């Protein structure tokens, strides 16, 4: 059609397409903002929303208490180990001193030192007792820490079972929320797609076609970009089924449209040449001729062949001769390219009458 348009009309149409794209861009921005805000209608869920609080709270309190006891036992264990190390060091030093003293006493063999021997032995026993007591404290704190750690692990195992059940419930609820949000998106985008389909069928050639096409582009973007990527999968079943349904619907529409087109073409080819020519618009005829196809049946025709004046497929006239200058011209031209005479029968008859009335 662009070859049949005036130069200014071409630029006007290009500018209107820019208007359509800009209009579609603003609609897409508004729709995207609205669609992105849809998940906010649902409350943010957590695992605690689905856990058995009556059973979980005591277990969590037990875990925290066990951690506190274990931390205290660890601190006490460090102190006890330091005390045990100090007692062990004192005991070792005393045994070394005692051993040296015993060796000296045996060398001198002085009986008057028996009292000192008893005192030293008692002091050594006391240090050993202190070391043993420190060791008992260490073992006691180790036992406390072990009990606390085991209690904590037992509570955590029970809590893990509750949290696992809650996590499964949370995931199930997430799937339901996802489905609801998809329902919101579908409720928003499907009417837009239906309106766009109606506009495409009824209004795409109207005066305000830039806004019509802008809305159509917006509806297609909203459906295939804002909706389809968020289609619930459920293992791929839903998406494949939806894809099959859409393909069947689009394919059926295409098949029905093709059959209707072929039926219209068959009916049109059965009509007289003058009727078919009147039903073809000027721009449509020129566009098809520019593609070297018949304006009536849209089959390929060698228009460069000067011997072809009629379509060999449907019989519609493609070329005729000017009634004034007899020049061969397109049968769909409004004026003769050789003499400028109007191709309209009434105008041509008037022109012939005027030519006949002119003096020789």
DSSP 345-356: HHHHHHHHHHHH
Per-residue model confidence (pLDDT) at position 274: 76
User: Quick one: 7 and 122 in the same domain?
Assistant: yes
User: Quick one: 186 and 75 in the same domain?
Assistant: yes
d(CA 280, CA 295): 8
pLDDT in tens, the chain (360 residues): 445 456 666 777 778 888 888 888 888 888 778 777 766 656 666 777 777 778 778 878 887 888 888 888 888 878 878 877 877 777 777 776 767 666 666 655 555 556 766 776 777 777 777 777 878 888 888 888 888 888 888 888 888 888 888 888 888 887 787 777 778 778 888 888 888 888 888 888 888 888 888 888 888 888 777 777 667 666 667 777 877 888 898 889 888 888 888 888 777 777 777 777 777 778 888 888 888 888 888 888 888 888 888 888 888 888 888 888 888 888 888 888 888 888 765 444 444 444 444 443
Would you give the DSSP letter of residue 296? T
Q: Show the domain range for 336.
A: 280-357
Per-residue model confidence (pLDDT) at position 294: 87
Structural domains of the chain, count? 3
Q: At which residue do the structure tokens 């051993």 appear?
A: 99
Per-residue model confidence (pLDDT) at position 345: 54
User: Quick one: 139 and 97 in the same domain?
Assistant: yes
Among candidate residues 244, 270, 296, the one where a domain is terminated:
270
User: Quick one: 331 and 263 in the same domain?
Assistant: no
Distance from the Cα of residue 339 to its chain's centroid? 63
Per-residue model confidence (pLDDT) at position 112: 55
d(CA 47, CA 131): 51
In a domain, 76, yes or no: yes
Paired tokens of 29: 């921005």
User: Quick one: 130 and 55 in the same domain?
Assistant: yes
Per-residue model confidence (pLDDT) at position 286: 83
Per-residue model confidence (pLDDT) at position 196: 86
Q: At which residue do the structure tokens 């039903």 appear?
A: 279
User: Quick one: 239 and 295 in the same domain?
Assistant: no
In a domain, 159, yes or no: yes
Paired tokens of 331: 């049968």
User: Quick one: 210 and 124 in the same domain?
Assistant: yes
Read out DSSP for 62-105?
Answer: HHHHHHHHHHHHHHHHHHHHHHHHHHHHHHHHHHHHHHHHHHHH
User: Quick one: 221 and 352 in the same domain?
Assistant: no
Per-residue model confidence (pLDDT) at position 307: 85
In a domain, 125, yes or no: yes
d(CA 332, CA 300): 17
User: Quick one: 157 and 184 in the same domain?
Assistant: yes
pTM for this entry: 0.47
In a domain, 178, yes or no: yes
Which residue, 355, 73, 27, 14, is CA-closest to 222?
A: 27
User: Quick one: 226 and 237 in the same domain?
Assistant: no
In a domain, 202, yes or no: yes
User: Quick one: 253 and 111 in the same domain?
Assistant: no
In a domain, 275, yes or no: no
In a domain, 86, yes or no: yes
Distance from the Cα of residue 177 to its chain's centroid? 16
In a domain, 315, yes or no: yes
User: Quick one: 163 and 241 in the same domain?
Assistant: no
Per-residue model confidence (pLDDT) at position 350: 41
Among candidate residues 170, 201, 231, the one where a domain is terminated:
231
């Amino acid at each position: 059609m662009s070859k049949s348009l005036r130069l200014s009309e071409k630029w006007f149409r290009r500018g209107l397409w820019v208007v359509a794209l800009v209009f579609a861009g603003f609609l897409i921005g508004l729709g995207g903002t609205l669609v992105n805000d849809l998940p906010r209608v649902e409350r943010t869920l957590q695992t605690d929303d689905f856990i058995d609080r009556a059973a979980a709270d005591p277990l969590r309190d037990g875990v925290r208490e066990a951690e506190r006891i274990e931390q205290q036992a660890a601190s006490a264990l460090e102190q006890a180990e330091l005390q045990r190390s100090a007692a062990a060091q004192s005991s070792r030093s005393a045994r070394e001193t005692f051993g040296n003293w015993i060796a000296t006493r045996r060398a001198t063999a002085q009986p008057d030192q028996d009292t000192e021997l008893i005192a030293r032995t008692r002091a050594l026993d006391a240090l050993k007792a202190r070391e043993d007591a420190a060791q008992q404290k260490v073992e006691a704190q180790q036992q406390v820490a072990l009990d606390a750690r085991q209690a904590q692990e037992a509570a955590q195992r029970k809590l893990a079972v509750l949290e696992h059940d809650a996590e499964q419930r949370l995931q199930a609820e997430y799937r339901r929320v996802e489905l609801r949000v998809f329902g919101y998106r579908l409720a928003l985008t499907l009417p837009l797609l239906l309106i766009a389909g109606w506009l495409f069928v009824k209004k795409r050639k109207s005066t305000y076609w830039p806004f019509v096409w802008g809305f159509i582009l917006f509806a297609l973007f909203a459906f295939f970009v804002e909706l389809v990527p968020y289609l619930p999968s459920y293992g791929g079943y839903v998406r494949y089924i939806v894809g099959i349904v859409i393909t069947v619907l689009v394919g059926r529409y295409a098949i029905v449209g093709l059959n209707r087109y072929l039926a219209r073409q068959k009916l049109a080819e059965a009509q007289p040449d003058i009727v078919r020519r009147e039903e073809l618009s000027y721009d449509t005829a020129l566009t098809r001729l520019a593609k070297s196809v018949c304006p009536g049946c849209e089959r390929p025709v060698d228009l460069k062949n000067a011997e072809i004046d009629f379509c060999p497929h449907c019989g519609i006239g493609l070329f005729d001769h000017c009634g004034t200058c007899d020049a061969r011209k397109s049968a769909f031209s409004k004026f003769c390219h050789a003499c400028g005479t109007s191709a309209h029968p009434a105008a041509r008859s008037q022109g012939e009458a005027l030519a006949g009335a002119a003096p020789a």
